[in-house]
Amino acid sequence: MSESNDGNPSRRYRLMIPGPVDLTPEVLVSLSAPVQADYGSNWPDIYLDTTRLLKTIFGTSGDVFILVGSGSSGIDACIGSALKTGEKIIIGINGFFGERMKEIAESYGLEVIPIIKEWGEVLDPRDFEFALKNHQDAVMVALPHIETSTTVVNPIAEIGKIVRKYKAVFMVDAVSSLGGMPFYMDSWGIDICSSASQKCLGGPPGLSPVAIGSKGWDLIQRSFTKDHGWYLNLATWKKYSDKWMVWHPFPITMATSLVVALRTSIEQILKDGIDNRFALYRARAMRLRFGLLKIGLQLFVPDDFAAPVVTAVYGYPDTATSLMIKYIEDKYYIKIAGGLGLLKEKIMRIGHMSPMISESDIDDVVSALERYKSEHNIH
């Protein structure tokens, strides 16, 4: 029952939630550097270099912007910038974040054609083909890659192959997958995509990288008045990046310290080798799932479509998962997450999307759960 703070005395809890994640010591050091001005001399170079690195992580030759806001701001921008009130959007919904996309779309007065699966099931590409055939006027198809609320990985490449045959653009929420598992925006046929700094990209919360390909821009830059604001309109971000490129390639005060920290993390990912990171998370997942099964717990989704960066597991029978989560937090100083929405009190979600999570962290979670069982006379 060790309290590990990795040399940082103010660090009390180990974060094993699906974001935000614990930062590496190098990222923490970069966060403590003096605040930089967001224009002039060297800043545009730092910003543009960060977007260049992000392009390799997204797997795109399109444009990347770093929005100042959480992951949801990027999703809001991708949907709201591209469509106008009354237009049709097909949304894949198999959990909390698919539901959120629908909420965002409805906030812009869009007509949502939902493709629904039970929470914990995977979306079926054939349903998208069917919806696109029936709604030839759909302007966008959108869904989350990893549905973090259930840990299901949706088949983006297969759905992308289908969407490509229609005029609709393909938008993907890669908030919890980018940097944690293979992702190929261009070759998967994704036109607009957004992520967040605080999950597999290993930075602090507060930034949302957004990537846009040429089919995405064609839609965003159609000449009509959209019922959309200014800040989260990607056309605003493009205008300023073109016009103010050499000194200030964004419309607002960039969160310079957060960008510096994010860049440090991405440099580390690329230096370690991104494939090595993917393998590391996968190995942590396997170790955790093996341990959970061994102590008699049941996994929430089959391994064939379970995310490599977060694991969902049912609690013990007749036990509210919040009690188990609180126990681990109080006795082991480890934070894991519960279920969202429909899955509240039913499952626990254990994140392993940071290189800071070691084999012994995984083992500690398993032994904490085992000890909970023996202390509460669960058989």
Which of 89, 163, 175, 181: binder of ligand PLP (CB under 6 A)?
Answer: 175
Which of 70, 233, 321, 354: binder of ligand PLP (CB under 6 A)?
Answer: 70
Burial label, 22 (beta-carbon count in 10 A; 0-12, 13-18, 19+):
buried
Binding to ligand PLP (CB under 6 A) within 2-21 occurs at 19
Minimum distance from residue 102 beta carbon to ligand PLP (Å) = 13
The first and second tokens of residue 130, run together, are 């069917």
Largest CA-CA distance found in the chain, in angstroms, rounded: 67
166 versus 198: smaller Cβ distance to ligand PLP: 198
Which residue shows structure tokens 């990795």?
A: 6
65 versus 316: smaller Cβ distance to ligand PLP: 65
| In contact, 6 and 358? CB cutoff 8 Å | no
| β-bridge mates for residue 193, sequence order | 172, 211
Binding to ligand PLP (CB under 6 A) within 295-314 occurs at none
Number of residues that bind ligand PLP (CB under 6 A): 12
Which range, of 37-45, 67-75, 76-84, 279-287, touches ligand PLP by CB under 6 A? 67-75
Reduced to 3 states, what is the DSSP secondary structure of residue 219?
helix
Minimum distance from residue 44 beta carbon to ligand PLP (Å) = 26
| In contact, 211 and 192? CB cutoff 8 Å | yes
Q: Which residues 6+ apart lie within 8 Å of 107 measured at CB? A: none
Which of 22, 63, 76, 173: binder of ligand PLP (CB under 6 A)?
Answer: 173
30 versus 149: smaller Cβ distance to ligand PLP: 149
Number of residue whose CB is nearest ligand PLP: 71
Minimum distance from residue 364 beta carbon to ligand PLP (Å) = 24
176 versus 321: smaller Cβ distance to ligand PLP: 176
DSSP percent split of the chain into helix, strand, coil, nearest 5: 40, 15, 40
Minimum distance from residue 94 beta carbon to ligand PLP (Å) = 11
What's the distance, CA 317 to chain centroid? 31
Which of 30, 60, 94, 148: binder of ligand PLP (CB under 6 A)?
Answer: 148
Whole-angstrom distance, CA of residue 83 vs CA of residue 171: 12
Q: Is 30 in the site for ligand PLP (CB under 6 A)?
A: no
Reduced to 3 states, what is the DSSP secondary structure of residue 226?
coil
Q: Is 144 in the site for ligand PLP (CB under 6 A)?
A: yes
Binding to ligand PLP (CB under 6 A) within 93-112 occurs at 97
43 versus 119: smaller Cβ distance to ligand PLP: 119
Minimum distance from residue 346 beta carbon to ligand PLP (Å) = 18
Which range, of 27-35, 44-52, 173-181, 352-360, touches ligand PLP by CB under 6 A? 173-181
Residue 208 per-residue DSSP state: E
Peptide bond into 302 cis (omega under 30): no
Minimum distance from residue 201 beta carbon to ligand PLP (Å) = 11
**CA nearest to 203, candidates 97, 359, 50, 80:** 50
Q: Is 195 in the site for ligand PLP (CB under 6 A)?
A: no
**CA nearest to 78, candidates 220, 199, 184:** 220
Between β-strands 192-194 and 169-173, what pairing exists: parallel, antiparallel or unpaired?
A: parallel
Minimum distance from residue 176 beta carbon to ligand PLP (Å) = 3
Which of 44, 59, 62, 71: binder of ligand PLP (CB under 6 A)?
Answer: 71
Which of 50, 51, 150, 176: binder of ligand PLP (CB under 6 A)?
Answer: 176
89 versus 175: smaller Cβ distance to ligand PLP: 175
Q: Per DSSP, which regions of the chain are E strands?
A: 14-15, 63-68, 88-93, 111-116, 138-144, 146-147, 152-153, 169-173, 192-194, 207-212, 310-314, 334-335, 337-338, 347-351
Q: Which residues bind ligand PLP (CB under 6 A)?
A: 19, 70-72, 97, 144, 146, 148, 173, 175-176, 196
